[in-house]
Amino acid sequence: MINPNVAGGSPERFGYEWGRYSDIKPEYEEQFRRWLPFYESDDWRGKRFVDVGCGMGRNSYWPLSYGAAQGHALDVDARSLASARANLASFANCEVLESSAYELPWTSEIDIAFSIGVIHHLEFPERALAEMVRSVKAGGQIAIWVYGRENNGWLIWALNPARKLLFSRMPISLVHHLSLYPTAVLWLFLRMGLTPIKYFGLLRGFTFSHLRSIVFDQMLPKIANYWRKDEVEALMREAGLERIQLAWVNEMSWAARGFKRA
């Protein structure tokens, strides 16, 4: 039987990350808007949403600040949940709860179910997406952001083998220490003005600490899938969604939105 809380993912490793990098930074709003480019601020007003794999709550923070009627931020690691509760404490209409992506506690109740940077780390992404579809109302929306294969050949060639063979097996505190060195190289690379794709242009404006959290995030998981556009679209279609939209984010990842059949 599948353990719904783990299922081959890395919740305990991401929990270390979100316990350590738990502050809401102003630049996170720009990232959120890029990750879900289908939505303007007013599109969240009056909506009830679910944030699947909320981490420290940064992606629930913005819809709530835009006027969402109710938010549900869920994760499975205690450190992630503690950080999310602290960051979202000012929103009385937000519930932070322990819940697996494979077992959502709603059926046909939610307006928008979204998951940013989580689906590609799961052993069973189709099952998680099916749960998101089940949770929303007829005509409700599902939105995801996932790693793209396009323009990420160097990551797949270099980082993926190192992550699978080394980093994912190391104590997480050691991985965090090691993240300092590629971050320093990236920092120098960006300071030299080398921004071959849009994503690097965005990174250039980040602090060293923020850059390190991003590098660390790439090094720590046990599973990381990099999907082509057609694979992301197929994932959404196989979940039974219609009116599917895809957007190429920062020239290295994919955002997708689909609607549950009415």
* The pLDDT of residue 10 is above 90: no
Query: Would you state the pLDDT for residue 109?
Result: 97
Measured in whole angstroms, how far is the alpha carbon of residue 183 from the centre of its chain? 20
pLDDT, one tens digit per residue, over 133-176 is: 999 999 999 999 999 999 888 778 878 888 888 998 899 999 99
* The pLDDT of residue 3 is above 50: no
CA angle 243, 225, 101 (to 5 degrees): 65
pLDDT, one tens digit per residue, over 25-53 is: 999 999 999 999 999 999 999 999 999 99
Domains parsed from the chain with CATH numbers:
11-149+224-259 (3.40.50.150), 153-219 (no CATH)
pTM of the model: 0.91
Query: Would you state the pLDDT for residue 196?
Result: 74
Residue/partner pairs of 34-39 with CB below 8 Å, 24 or more apart:
34/202, 34/249, 34/250, 35/59, 35/116, 35/117, 35/145, 35/249, 35/255, 36/114, 36/116, 36/143, 36/145, 36/255, 36/257, 37/247, 37/249, 37/255, 38/143, 38/245, 38/247, 38/255, 38/257, 39/143
Phi-psi region of 7 (alpha: psi -120 to 50; beta: other; left: phi over 0): left
Measured in whole angstroms, how far is the alpha carbon of residue 139 from the centre of its chain? 23
Query: Would you state the pLDDT for residue 95?
Result: 97
Give the 3-state secondary structure percentages of the chain, helix then strand then coil, rounded to 5.
45, 20, 35
Average pLDDT, the chain: 92
pLDDT, one tens digit per residue, over 77-93 is: 999 999 999 999 999 99
Query: Would you state the pLDDT for residue 9?
Result: 59
Query: Would you state the pLDDT for residue 199?
Result: 84
Query: Would you state the pLDDT for residue 237?
Result: 97
